[in-house]
Structure formats: structure tokens, C-alpha cells
Amino acid sequence: MRYELPTLIARMLDGRFSPTPLKQAVLAHFGIADEERYGEILFRQQIPGDRLVTTPPVVFEAWQSGDAAGTWLVERALDDYALAARAMISRTGSDSPDVAFGGGVIAQAPQEFWNALAERVGNTCPRANITQPEMPPEYGACIMAGFRDGREPQEFFEQVRTQRQS
């Protein structure tokens, strides 16, 4: 969503996508008063990084209010997360896996998003348990590094979990 949003706003401004209230909300969030300058500001990468990474609540609010552009972005995100889950589940061989979603966008998602995501994943894997990660990303990176170093991931995960709880 964060990467598609700036382009979507540009398309609203040049007529390739029908403008919605999300346009003004995003321009305000980015601190852009003159929409005629948006293309230049975007091209020159002058939108502050902290403004770009904090757009998910703006999009989720638009989605929850029925905004067509916000809905389009959220639907695409839901489809992509569900597709990723299906791909990961198929590799586990489990018919009742735990599926943990994390990251900056999804961490800011309202409960309605989580419900929709669980429903979509459940359509192809009804016994999947959708959850948030048990540990922050840096722990996952350590577990992946251990895996790359030849450690058995489940065993190493349990060791990290135990040490983290101590």
C-alpha cells in the first residue's frame, strides 16, 4: 500500500483514476498544499520518509469510510497477503498451520483488516490460525541466520523463545 499510494494519487491528479477524498487526505498528510507541484515533488523524491511510512492509517481510514481508492488499495493488499500465505502454507505441508503476519503496514491495520485477511486465507486453508508474530523482526532475522548456518529452525526458535521469556 505504501508504495502504490503515491502513484495512485498521481493518477488521481492526472485523470487516470477518479479522485476520491483519499487524495486530499494524502496531500495533507504529505504536507503538500499545491497539488500542481505533486508530480515534481514525487519525482524528486521530496516527500519525507516519515510521511511515506505513516500512510497506512490514512488508507485504512479511507477504506473504512468506503472510499473507492482506499478500498482498491486495501483489497490489493489483502489479495497479496492471502496469496503469500497460501504459498507459504503449501510449502509446510500442514493443513492447520499458524500463519503470522507482520510488518509496518499490517501492524497498523484495524481489526477489520485482520478479519478480512483471516477470511481470505481461510477460504483456501480453513484450519489456518492467523496471528501476529510472536517476536519482533530482529528475532526472526536471527532465526533465519541460524537456519542459514545449519541450525534446525524449530529447535532454534524454541531456544530463542525460552531465552527471550527469561
Q: What percent of the chain has pLDDT over 70?
A: 100
Does some domain include residue 67? no
Both 11 and 49 in a single domain?
yes
Amino acid present at 43? F
C-alpha count within 13 angstroms, C-beta hemisphere, residue 83? 6
Domain annotation covers residue 60:
no
> How many angstroms separate the CA atoms of 8 and 16, rounded?
9
The pLDDT, as a whole number, for residue 131 is 86
Provide the residue range defining the domain that includes 32: 4-55
pLDDT at 141 over 90: no
- Residue 18 is assigned to a structural domain of this protein: yes
Prediction pTM value = 0.84
Helices and strands (H and E) in the chain: how many = 10, 2
> Count of residues for the chain?
166
Q: Do residues 94 and 78 share a domain? A: yes
Looking at the DSSP bridge assignments, the partners of residue 130 are 99
Residues 87 and 115 in one domain: yes
Domain count within the chain: 3
**Using CA atoms, how far apart are residues 9 and 21, in angstroms rounded to an integer?**
11
Q: Do 113 and 76 sit in the same domain of this protein?
A: yes
Instruction: Read off the pLDDT of residues 63-120 as tens digits, 9 standing for 90 and up.
Output: 999 999 999 999 999 999 999 999 999 998 898 999 999 888 888 999 999 999 999 9
Print burial letters for 99-132: b (CB count within 10 Å at least 16), e (below 16): bebeeebbebbeeebeebbbebbeeebeebebee
Residue 20 lies in a domain: yes
Q: Cβ distance 56 to 109 under 8 Å?
A: yes
